[in-house]
Structure 1
Amino acid sequence: MTTMIHSNERLDDLGRKGYKLIQDPQKFCFGIDAVLLSDYAKVKRGEKALDLCTGNGVIPILLEAKNRGEHYSGLEIQPECADLARRSVEYNGLGDKISIVEGDVCNASEIFGRESMEVITVNPPYMIGQHGITNDADAMTIARHEIKCTLEDVIRESSRILKFNGRFYMVHRPFRLAEIFNTMIQYHIEPKRMRLVHPYADREPNMVLIEGLKGGKSRITIEKPLVVYKEPNVYTDEIYEIYGYKE
């Protein structure tokens, strides 16, 4: 069966196992934050993983390429994005390994069931409320702003879905770290690892990667910073390695 790719869409190489992703430039295309999260998260043999706010499905596809989990699911509220994700899964022949579900993160535990997953990943909307919004129906706006779900919604539902000792992986913005940690602890997901991501070595961080453990004890490891660029338009060696190719 041939996967349909529309004239306004493009096919991007993911640099892993020959996998490709169907993207619509008019919608929200994935960025480096999704790639970094898929590298930071680990899914062990036999585990089931769920990606919330999956968008066009890039994270489940990259997770499948890099890990030996039993099954990967993605939850997406926007029908157009869910359709893109499903077609990318089909294009790569991953229908038996990855399921894309259209639904609301706020009801995720009802959709997937409580204590049903060992791993959850999420690249959620970063911006609070209505700040800077001009059109709340726009796909990019929904991806960037907490219109359809809040940080608390994401963490609450993750806690319900995760099994005891299940792992929670998230990429977010450092300016919300206090809120992130408070909310994680409130819902019994203990922050265990954190890595700040800097655009350049001499710039302040603009992303943070976090791992939490449901029911874990209080102890966090602060890992060495990850620097993206060594000079304009030239990635550091570690970023090239994460992307799956060398300079």
Structure 2
Amino acid sequence: MNPATTSVFLGGRLQLAQPAKGHRAGTDAALLAACPSPTADDTVYDLGAGVGPAGLAVALRFPGCRVRLVEIDRAIAALARANVETNGLAARVDVLEADVTARLAKGGPLEPASAGHVIMNPPFHLAGTVRPPPDAYRSGAHIHGEEGDEAWIRCAHGLLRPKGMLALIHRADALPRLLAALDRRFGDIRVKPVLPRVDEPAVRILIRAQRESRAPFILLPPLVLHQADGSFTPEAEALHRGEGSVDWQA
């Protein structure tokens, strides 16, 4: 069994128990947590939440909202529940064990049309395109099943109320298939490339989209993570501390 270790996240504002080996919380979760801006009465779903870094960060930054962490792995969901308790967020954060690729159904753990925001960090690779990691949790976190991103986006669409917002982070090379999956379900699709340094190609993309919107697609200026000396840019540093939000303005 993969032992758990405790580490800090969001500039020390969160304590996280997570597997000592395999998938670990880092920059992707910090950036994803900075994407939504829920109101006090909003419910936020974090799909494929893992041990909960992104969803817990949202709950911490927006104390009026309710967050539901969705995770399929039972052992990882148990760590997420421990993290909810450790960080004093049990009154507003639930952990649900569910498969986001399954069709939504009445009476199931995931409530259709109940969310103002959905955030997600889906597996980055399609089955058969990379060698699976030996660790089962890391493999599930990095490699899709048969339906891939389409199923995750379909789930997010079903969970959101009309005009609700989806935010996700993914590899830059996944953009064509993500746009295809978002088409006809979402509008006002905004893409922000994430560059390691100002003169390097994007390695990640952040996407925000609104259910039932007819607003046009927008490609935004990039978010640059590192300065020439390797340190974080001021914007990236603030996002890692949970002290800022992703700029979605055109």
Do Structure 1 and Structure 2 share a fold, with TM-score over 0.5? yes
* Matched length: 240
Match of 1:113 in 2: 111
Confirm whether residue 59 of structure 1 aligns to residue 54 of structure 2: yes
Give the aligned partner of residue 247 of structure 2.
none
- Following superposition of structure 1 onto structure 2, how do residues 154-193 of structure 1 map, counting pairs within 5 Å? 154-186=152-184, 188-193=185-190
The whole-number CA distance in structure 1 between the counterparts of 2:177 and 2:224 is: 24
**2-structure distance, mates of 1:153, 1:245:** 29
**Post-superposition CA distance 1:136-169 (Å, at most 9, x none):** 7611111011038620110111111110001000
Q: Name the structure with the higher helix share.
A: 1
The correspondence of residues 151-230 of structure 1 with structure 2, limited to 5 A, is 151-186=149-184, 188-230=185-227
SS at match of 1:166: strand
Amino acid at match of 1:116: S
Asked if 1 retains the 8 angstrom alpha-carbon contact of 2:167 and 2:206, the reply is: yes
Q: Distance in 2 between matches of 1:81 and 1:108?
A: 22
Match of 1:130 in 2: 128
Distance change >3 Å, CA 232–CA 82, structure 1 → 2: farther
Contact 2:132/2:143, CA 8 A, preserved across alignment = no
**Using the alignment, how far apart are the partners of 2:58 and 2:87 within structure 1?**
13
Letter in 1 for 2:21: Q
Q: How far is the alpha carbon of 1:176 from its aligned partner? A: 1.6
From 65, 72, 79, the counterpart of 1:84: 79
Once the two structures are TM-superposed, the CA of residue 82 in structure 1 deviates from its matched residue by: 0.7
- Contact kept? 1:192, 1:221, Cα under 8 Å: yes
Q: Which structure 1 residue ranges, 5 or more long, are not aligned?
A: 1-5
Q: Give the conservation status (yes or no) of the 8 Å contact 1:170–1:209.
A: yes
- Cα displacement (A) at 1:222: 2.4
Q: Is the 8 A contact 1:56 1:85 kept in 2?
A: yes
Q: Normalising to structure 1: TM-score of the pair?
A: 0.89
The CA distance in 2 between the partners of 1:168 and 1:239, in whole Å, is 21
1:30 to partner: Cα distance: 1.3
**Percent identity of equivalent pairs:** 21
**Aligned equivalents of 2:215, 2:242: Cα separation in 1:** 37
The structure 1 segments of at least 4 consecutive aligned residues displaced by more than 4 Å after TM superposition are none
The answer on 1:8 being equivalent to 2:6 is: no
